[in-house]
Structure 1
Amino acid sequence: MGQTKEINAYNFIAGIDVLFNLSPDLLCLFSIDGKILKANCAFKNALGYKDEDIVLQDFIDFVHPDDVEATFLKYKALTRNESALLFRNRYRCADGEYKSLSWNANQLPDGTLYASARDVSDIIIANKIKQNALKKLKLSNERYKLVTAATHDVIWDWDLKRNTLKWSKSFEDNFGYPTGQKKEPITTWSKHIHEDDKESVINSIREAITTPSDKFWREEYRYYRADGSIALIIDQGYIIRNHDGKAIRMVGAMQDITELKEKELRICNQNERLTDIAQINSHELRRPVASILGLLQLFDSEKITDESSRELLEHLKVAAFELDEVIRRIVDKTVA
């Protein structure tokens, strides 16, 4: 009967030992003085150790130097029969690298310290990547807001899947149509295009969207403001496509070039007037100059015996030719 109890006890301990080694968690037994008594297969495989590398070694020697103080304080709490839940530290691997572990530990009735851990290195790295991505996104959003606030252009974002459009506030500032900063139907834009330009503009953007090789779209057209006046627009957008080449989104900007075109027109008109004036002036000036040159040809310098009169005549000829040359250059510059 006693032998049966011993066999049952042995089988029970052996079963516990099997479960200990089969557990996917990193399991360890520590002595009250901090020595590693036993580690399961998951622990050794994760960190790259063999039994002879860790058994009877001080566990604190494997902890990252920056985590030693906090880990030691948690260990002292365990010796006072307090539990440790989800305590994180970094543990040195056999190759010298460190892995981040999340521990749960407590003290067993016999005074042994029992701990289970999970490798959370990938989770920590993923969280850092996520945090960095969120920081970059926040910075990008801040920059976007600053850019849209700084520019007079109308920034737009067209969701082609839902066929909805989102405007920057400058749409209202430029054209007088309230947007409320919400996504709106694409007709919010198209219904205000000048009737003589609407068909060509719609066909142009439709062709760009349905042509897989196209990445950019650009058009100039007339656009009605809320007060009925007409703005001259340069509109251009970048087409975002999926892996199949299908357009899923467009981001672009509308630029009101009405004032610029008006200035160009004024400059052109002014240039035309200046050209007309220059040509008229040159014609009017050349006529008396031509008369002077003709009259000078009538004088026979050889018959003029007075030296001072002869010099005066030569000066008049030179001055007349110089004036004629100046007029010719004015005409050439004006025509060019």
Structure 2
Amino acid sequence: MFNPNPAANGNCTIVFDIDEQKCLFVTESFYSLFDVGIDHLHQNVDFLSGLVNPEVIAEVKQLTEGLALNGSIQITYRLEASQKQLTENRTLAIDGLTGHKIILCSISTTPAVISAPAPFDKPGPREQFLNSLIDSQTNFLIRIDINGKFSFVNRRFLKTFGYDEAEIIGHHFSKTTIPQEAHLCEEAFMNCVNNPGKIVRLVHKKPAKDGSLHDTEWEFVSITDDDGSVVEVQGIGRDITPQMQMREEALQIKDSLEALINNTRDHIWSVDRELRYMYMNQAYVEQVTYLTGVMPCKGQSSYEDSGFSKQIIDDWTVYYNRALNGERYSIVSESIDPMNGRSLYFEVSFNPIYTATGDIIGAGCFGHNITDRLKIQKELVDQNERLKNIASLSSHELRRPVASMLGLISLMDHEDFYNPENEEIIAHLFTVSAEIDAAIRLVVDSTMPNKRARTN
């Protein structure tokens, strides 16, 4: 729609399709000349809307409707906001490609000289301008006659696919199709021929002269003569190879990410606001199927016919709703292994899922089996309790007989070993030794309770 080489800021050119009621072309200098933003043409069919007095718009419309083919008028009007006075030359013509009536507007800040209109069937400034406009398009424009042969291709088509005009004009359109998709082009062509006025869309790969393939997207429509008979098929297309490459890369990334997620043993799933499954990785599907005997499916309710008990359904409904209300949190969930009846523990985090506008559309959940971790933690707690018990036994049960032994040894007569009193002390030492042995056994048993249980 925009000229890549706009005119100077003091003038601009606009081409308006009367039949389609839309601008086909406008130079970028339009915006500075009329002091408007880029949205103006999208919001107004008539580019003068809101810029000049409504009476002026009505007068310009009346003058335009009275124009004869190839006739011109000169209009002068003042912009309401800036009070800038502009002069416009407006000409009515026929687009040689589409057959539509078009208005050519040349606008400047100084009065323009009106030139005599040249006949449109002879090469002239307007025809040259239209040809230049067609060739400056970034889209492809082609015409195919009723026999399937090219009758016209624009410069963009030739440049993209590397052909000279003589290599295309008069040749069948199958020259620029690949064998695998030739039937698609044939079907689109016959659909246009058999349905005048119908827009037929086609996406297919088109080979260039050097053998490279381009992904292309087309809209075809038939062109009829005054009797309503189809004489040609016109196609407007564009090269979508970069978009298709980006899409392919995105699919590869998606597949890689999907493979990564499905190769983890952690459980990943999400539900929508109606608590229906939006996504589940393979680990979650397998775990739920193992626990309940029912395989969850995408789009299915997370609790109806799920195999879970009512209590579990009620609990998880609360969990999901907390996340759907914007809360981020984690819980420890307990399940029973159906094979051995043992408890399985999972740490589950809940996270709200937001749209770009900040609305919550679902809850994302991440579950991790922590059964082994809790088992290890319990063993560590038990071990700490045993160590505390050992420390207590060492400080009380063991120290008392040791202190008694040390006291008895200090009472012995070391100079006369056969002193009768030593015999009594030695007897007490045997008793204390037995107490020490019992205390040591108690410490050992507290250290290894399983061994003690087996011994007993």
Instruction: Answer yes or no: is the 8 Å Cα contact 1:193–1:223 preserved in 2.
Output: no
Partner Cα distance (2:278, 2:120) in 1: 69
Q: CA deviation at 1:198?
A: 6.9
Partner in structure 2 of residue 169 of structure 1: 285
Amino acid at match of 2:374: K
Q: CA deviation at 1:298?
A: 5.3
1:136-215 matches, cutoff 5 A = 136-147=253-264, 151=265, 153-161=266-274, 163-164=276-277, 166-167=279-280, 168-172=284-288, 174-179=290-295, 181-187=297-303, 192=308, 195=311, 202-211=317-326, 214=327
Partner Cα distance (2:288, 2:314) in 1: 24
Amino acid at match of 2:132: N
Is 1:271–2:384 an aligned residue pair?
Answer: yes
Q: CA deviation at 1:202?
A: 4.1
Q: CA deviation at 1:290?
A: 1.2
Amino acid at match of 2:121: I
Q: CA deviation at 1:43?
A: 1.8
Partner Cα distance (2:299, 2:313) in 1: 22
Partner Cα distance (2:306, 2:382) in 1: 33
Describe the SS at the equivalent of 2:263.
helix
Partner in structure 1 of residue 361 of structure 2: 248
Is 1:222–2:334 an aligned residue pair?
Answer: yes
TM-score (norm 2): 0.39
- Aligned identity (percent) is 18
**Are residues 194 and 293 of structure 1, via their aligned partners in 2, closer, same or farther at CA, if it must alter by over 3 Å?**
farther
Instruction: Answer yes or no: is the 8 Å Cα contact 1:176–1:225 preserved in 2.
Output: no
**Are residues 82 and 119 of structure 1, via their aligned partners in 2, closer, same or farther at CA, if it must alter by over 3 Å?**
closer
- Out of 22, 41, 45, the position equivalent to 2:133 is 41
Partner in structure 2 of residue 14 of structure 1: 122
**Are residues 18 and 162 of structure 1, via their aligned partners in 2, closer, same or farther at CA, if it must alter by over 3 Å?**
farther
**Are residues 194 and 46 of structure 1, via their aligned partners in 2, closer, same or farther at CA, if it must alter by over 3 Å?**
closer
Q: CA deviation at 1:208?
A: 2.9
- Out of 69, 82, 86, the position equivalent to 2:171 is 82
Is 1:71–2:162 an aligned residue pair?
Answer: yes
Instruction: Answer yes or no: is the 8 Å Cα contact 1:155–1:170 preserved in 2.
Output: no
Task: String of CA shifts for 1:182-223, please: whole Å, max 9, x gaps.
Answer: 44312159873694x876654344233213xx4x33111323
Q: CA deviation at 1:252?
A: 2.1
Amino acid at match of 2:263: L
Partner Cα distance (2:310, 2:347) in 1: 14
Partner in structure 1 of residue 238 of structure 2: 120
Q: CA deviation at 1:179?
A: 0.7
**Are residues 232 and 83 of structure 1, via their aligned partners in 2, closer, same or farther at CA, if it must alter by over 3 Å?**
closer
More helix by share: 1
Amino acid at match of 1:170: E
**Are residues 183 and 205 of structure 1, via their aligned partners in 2, closer, same or farther at CA, if it must alter by over 3 Å?**
closer
Task: String of CA shifts for 1:301-334, please: whole Å, max 9, x gaps.
Answer: 9x99xxxxxxxxxxxxxxxxxxxxxx9xx9xxx9
Q: CA deviation at 1:181?
A: 4.6
TM-score (norm 1): 0.50
**Are residues 255 and 185 of structure 1, via their aligned partners in 2, closer, same or farther at CA, if it must alter by over 3 Å?**
same
Partner in structure 1 of residue 407 of structure 2: 294
Instruction: Answer yes or no: is the 8 Å Cα contact 2:269–2:366 preserved in 1.
Output: yes
Describe the SS at the equivalent of 2:121.
helix
**Are residues 12 and 190 of structure 1, via their aligned partners in 2, closer, same or farther at CA, if it must alter by over 3 Å?**
closer
Amino acid at match of 1:13: D
Instruction: Answer yes or no: is the 8 Å Cα contact 2:272–2:361 preserved in 1.
Output: yes
Once superposed, what is the RMSD of the aligned Cα atoms? 4.9
**Are residues 75 and 300 of structure 1, via their aligned partners in 2, closer, same or farther at CA, if it must alter by over 3 Å?**
farther
Unaligned runs of 5+ in 2: 1-117, 140-154, 177-205, 210-215, 219-233, 417-439, 448-456
Describe the SS at the equivalent of 1:13.
coil
Describe the SS at the equivalent of 1:235.
strand
Describe the SS at the equivalent of 2:295.
coil
Q: How many residues align?
A: 233
Instruction: Answer yes or no: is the 8 Å Cα contact 1:235–1:255 preserved in 2.
Output: yes
Partner Cα distance (2:362, 2:217) in 1: 43
Partner Cα distance (1:182, 1:272) in 2: 48
